[in-house]
Amino acid sequence: MFELSNELKYRAMRRKVHEDKYSIIGVEIKNRRMNNLQTLEALSQDVCSVSYLCKVEQNKIEPNKAFLRELCSRLELSDDKVDYLFELRDVLIEMIHAYIIGDVSFIDMCCEHGSGFENYRFKIMVMINNIAKCDFDLAYDNMMNLMPLLSNMGNFDLAIFSLFSAITLYYRFSFKEALDSLMYLDEFDICDDVKVLKGVMIFKLHFALNKSDTPYWYDKAKILLFEHGYYNMIDELKYALCLYYIKNDCVDTFELVKNRITNRIDRNSLTGINAVMNDNNLTGLLNYSDNELNLYAKTLKMVINDPKSISDFLANKPNYYVIGFDYVLLEYLAFESYKDRLDYIFKVGLPNAYACGDDYLKRYFIREVARMPIHIRKNRAIVKAFILAYGKDFSLVDAEVFKYDDEEDKIY
């Protein structure tokens, strides 16, 4: 995502790009003309000069409305479609509000109304629609298809594209790249809902990376939500903050924040997750019935009860685990032998923790290695875990087979 952050930085350093309601019209005309394999001469014939059409496509002049209607008609754009093109800026702002409150049907309706458009603004709308429907692979494809168009985008569209690129990357676990996509956005004239969503995403990304300033970004996001009346999202932020305190053994603060969450199911879930992750107390979660737990806690309970069920989880991976502990922990807990667990820690767990910069995962897996009943070379295994966690030269430690006491090789 270097290209995106670089473009944002470049725009932030230069004066504001001129944008008006006709800018996207020129983009749409040019894209449709090129997709139809029409030349400038063919489209402009008997309507306007070639140089005039060229200036319209490049947004250098405000087009004559009679000429514009005729050009659009030749490109099979109805009057309704042309009118909708003029409204796309406001529609995009309304879609961001709908995304925050979870109104997927409105977002879908906006995209259906604009079906057939070729401009980058509508393509950003389609990307938002795919994110709202939790189709993050398709949203990622949308994002990559839009990347070559960065330099053509106005500041308004570039800012929104950057925000939803960060959301897409967040759900694909590319947390550092997602943060890069949010850099320099404060230098742009962004609407209030973009500011709100940006604040929430920065907090979520700091939580996902287990950064020490996560509580600071929680406070900033909470203030934005209060200021703009999005009270429905505050409990979600509190829930994530509680998980942060669980990760970092802040028991008293965890209890304080947890007790301020209004949703009883989330409070129960946090209590159970804390018991499993910090105290290794499985009954703290198993004592709750399924209808007293949220989706993440139910999945954790399922994995503990039936480790083989993790395969079903991975086949239909839900999206809620992003706001829980990293799913690699669920995979790890599904293994029933220390040998399989150690192999997973070295091949998946610690490399993942290193890539994400997640200190909690690093500490968790190092502690797991340290407590395993390895017969010989246990110190060597712990050293290898530290090397994997903190990015030293991996070749310093051989990937040799460790031996176990078969009598003690039991977990549950």
Which of 122-126, 395-399, 401-405 has the largest mean confidence? Answer: 122-126
Segment 265-279 mean pLDDT: 88
Percentage with pLDDT > 90 across the chain: 32
Helix (H, G, I), strand (E, B) or coil at 64: coil
Say what the pLDDT of residue 269 is: 92
Counting Cα atoms < 13 Å in the Cβ hemisphere of 284 gives 16
For the stretch 63-74, pLDDT in tens is 777 777 788 788
For the stretch 9-29, pLDDT in tens is 777 766 555 565 667 777 878
Question: What is the phi/psi pair of residue 372, to 5°?
Answer: -75, 145
Query: What is the rounded average pLDDT for all residues in the chain?
Result: 83
pLDDT band per the 50, 70, 90 thresholds, residue 97: very high
For the stretch 147-198, pLDDT in tens is 998 888 888 899 999 999 999 999 888 888 999 999 888 888 788 999 999 9
Q: Is the pLDDT of residue 105 over 90?
A: yes
What global pTM score does this model have? Answer: 0.80
Q: Residue 38 gets which letter from DSSP?
A: -
User: Which run of H or E residues covers position 161?
Assistant: helix 155-171
Say what the pLDDT of residue 42 is: 83
For the stretch 357-380, pLDDT in tens is 778 888 889 988 888 887 767 777
Secondary structure (H, E, C), 270-307: HHHHHHHHHHCCCHHHHCCCHHHCCHHHHHHHHHHHCH
Q: What is the C-alpha separation between 11 and 21, in angstroms, rounded?
A: 20
Q: Tokens standing for 188?
A: 């742009």
Helix (H, G, I), strand (E, B) or coil at 374: strand
Amino acid (one-letter) located at 70: E
Higher pLDDT residue, 386 or 311? 386
pLDDT band per the 50, 70, 90 thresholds, residue 412: very low
Which of 38-52, 224-238, 299-313, 393-407 has the largest mean confidence? Answer: 224-238
Say what the pLDDT of residue 145 is: 94
